[in-house]
Structure 1
């Protein structure tokens, strides 16, 4: 690009004049960029709303699922001997007397003590483990014939026996310990095959603990297990054994877990209120600064549709037929509140009609949770839901504006080039006229000097 000296002939700051003119010419681009920002903010708001709708949908799916109402709790009179947990297969309103006779134990054996776990070496050859009647040969050579090397070789063999080294603090403190993987694992070790090298063997093993099954009595019936988690003694209940004490029984009561129902309903209310709060925040009602989605009537329609579903009466018999009977109330701002006392009373008094109200009966009655689930699933559909439709429209407009900005930028580049050429031509013309003026002035001065001389 040629070097331009702005205003040398005219004395005007033509570069500044061109920049100011171009700033005026760029006003449409500034407006279009503002439109882009507004559209991008709208898309972000729609995505936020979609996230809140999906959160409500997740909670509604729980309300519409009958399995959530089949949650039980197993309560032990004492936590000293075992802990309890119950599944949906438990039997409500039952109780059992449980006695822990003995805990499950795996077989444990150990070697005599040795002076070092790394420096003292043993013979080379084969260690032969017999595990549950099957022989397993483990090769020991000069690379792994220390106590640590033998331990690692046993663990790497993956034969159902784990090895470790303990230090008992004696003169020869290092002992190799061997532990079966479970109570059914029985093993022996033959180290006589270590005949090479130093020829030293591990010696005979001593047993510190024999393998035995867990033993409990449920209502005086003997039950055994291969570990300390007993899952089939009480239907739908797991007993995690902690301590045994023969002759001591602990009562276990199985009841319906009302806490799970309350938790799920409270989670639903929280998710519903987030949706309502978002819609209200976008509205112009009572607020001179509406949200970016304030002009979208679809949001208000969604709010009204959800509110109408909340007030639906379900023909579930003479029991609970509306959410208001569960203690749910709509506040002046459209959000829900809960009377926990009324909810507890409804659960305790008529749980069957409560389930029908929320989840339906799987036949001819559609629950409120099911209604909302269908509606919210359509709203959040990735193909034809609210966000999908609004996103497509917004992205089309953004692309259109991008194209307009590109075309306008191209036109303005040419416009600026034209202006600079015009001002440059003007400067050249002014420069030429200045030169002619100087020449004429010089000639007139010469004539005047000549005239004065002749006088």
Structure 2
């Protein structure tokens, strides 16, 4: 703690504080410049985040699969349910289901007669003892009835990976076996299971579990598709891009034949419309965000607040000041202006070499407004729907066309715009970097300037400390001198007083 002015009676603390406040002016300017750079960086990164979102939307428009969306409908969903992939052909198909695919099952024909003690098979089922050997689907099993329970038996079967699952219902007191799949290749084949009882040789499955041994097989699904006969091991299958899910048997007609259900496949024009509209909305949002920064008013008389300035304002005044101080930091930014210009050029141009009549956004009723809107897109939704319904392939080509010779004139709109958005992201990233948890070093242009500014601020703060220390040494020396002079003055006065006496 420094206490000054005891000898001089001067407020040394305040004097040095006033002197240092003048010395701190260059530091305050450096700090304000650094704050402006940080705000600029944040604004650039916010725009880059918007460009990243637009890039993802445009990328999906480059893919033909985005436009190859199909919808499928069944005339009787109690018989068959359908969905269509992008490679499904538009049209109407007839399907009649004669038999559903089934798995194989074996179930206890009667309760097992279990006791209340389920700890082992021998305590649960009277008359069992020793080991029982058997096989299911050629997988051999050994069960010790005196140490293993019916639940141990279940687990052994279920873990054997033989396409069979076992279960036991204590309430029904019955044992169940079923295949995990369907079709005629799904089977349950039980061999063995003999054991000795007091009454002679018996079979564990037939005499205890009340399940027949031997083989039981599943069934294939049988159906006709457009008059052709088919069999499938499952009720779920795909043919020519159409996924079928059989749910029931077709009713029988007057001629004794099953009545076919109709399956209709067509292009999902509404989904294509929604995809294009989502892109337009995101493009407009991006353009508005960038233009908002380009034409935002700059308030030269509102620099970032220093600590001293904050002390003189209330919270509401600080908030209003900060709003103006942050405004217009990217006004008329040449890099952002160039990005917007390149995006607008890419999206408005004519696509040469397309086979249909749709060769520009304007041809599908996506246009721009007047100059004051600065490139915002407008859509005649009814006309766009008509264009998609009329020629979905032409719409796809307009967005996804590729150039054999590398010329942008033959590239689809999405391909052109994607390249410009990626280039814009690269420029903004080079200028301001990106927010990342994986990198502690910011090598962007602004990042390096902020680092340089931090070094300058640190050096200047060290200089200020040295200056302040020097001031204190000087005033301390002054205080000592004044104190010495006061002591000498008092001694002289004492001497004079003694001489007069």
**How many Å separate the matches in 2 of 1:34 and 1:116?**
84
**How many Å separate the matches in 2 of 1:161 and 1:10?**
103
Superposition TM-score, scaled by structure 1 size: 0.85
**How many Å separate the matches in 2 of 1:117 and 1:370?**
73
Cα drift, residue 215 of structure 1: 2.4
For the 8 Å contact 1:138–1:154, the answer to whether it is kept is no
For residue 62 of structure 1, the aligned residue among 57, 60, 65 is: 60
Pair 1:331-2:336 in alignment: no
**How many Å separate the matches in 1 of 2:298 and 2:25?**
31
Task: State the Cα deviation string for residues 346-372 of structure 1 (Å, max 9, x = none).
Answer: 123333433332222654732222211
2:320 corresponds in structure 1 to none
Q: Secondary structure at the match of 1:439?
A: helix
For residue 239 of structure 1, the aligned residue among 236, 244, 253 is: 244
Q: Secondary structure at the match of 2:367?
A: strand
**More displaced stretch, 80-89 vs 121-130:** 121-130
**Coordinate RMSD, CA, aligned:** 2.9
Pair 1:386-2:384 in alignment: no
For residue 344 of structure 1, the aligned residue among 375, 381, 385 is: 385
Pair 1:101-2:98 in alignment: yes
Superposition TM-score, scaled by structure 2 size: 0.77
Q: In 2 relative to 1, CA 120–310 (structure 1 residues): closer, same or farther, beyond 3 Å?
A: same
Pair 1:375-2:427 in alignment: no
For the 8 Å contact 2:339–2:420, the answer to whether it is kept is no
1:135 corresponds in structure 2 to 139
Cα drift, residue 260 of structure 1: 2.9
Q: In 2 relative to 1, CA 318–129 (structure 1 residues): closer, same or farther, beyond 3 Å?
A: closer
Cα drift, residue 341 of structure 1: 0.9
Q: Secondary structure at the match of 1:319?
A: coil
2:489 corresponds in structure 1 to 437
Q: In 2 relative to 1, CA 13–117 (structure 1 residues): closer, same or farther, beyond 3 Å?
A: farther
Task: State the Cα deviation string for residues 417-443 of structure 1 (Å, max 9, x = none).
Answer: 212211221221121112122222222
2:466 corresponds in structure 1 to 414
Q: Secondary structure at the match of 2:177?
A: strand
For residue 281 of structure 2, the aligned residue among 270, 275, 286 is: 270
Q: Secondary structure at the match of 1:379?
A: helix
**How many Å separate the matches in 1 of 2:499 and 2:204?**
134
1:177 corresponds in structure 2 to 176
For the 8 Å contact 2:269–2:392, the answer to whether it is kept is no
Q: Secondary structure at the match of 1:380?
A: helix
1:48 corresponds in structure 2 to 46
2:131 corresponds in structure 1 to 125
**How many Å separate the matches in 2 of 1:362 and 1:66?**
15
For the 8 Å contact 2:349–2:360, the answer to whether it is kept is yes
For the 8 Å contact 1:116–1:174, the answer to whether it is kept is no
Structure 1: gaps of 5 or more residues: 451-455
**How many Å separate the matches in 2 of 1:142 and 1:422?**
101
2:295 corresponds in structure 1 to 284
Q: Secondary structure at the match of 1:227?
A: coil
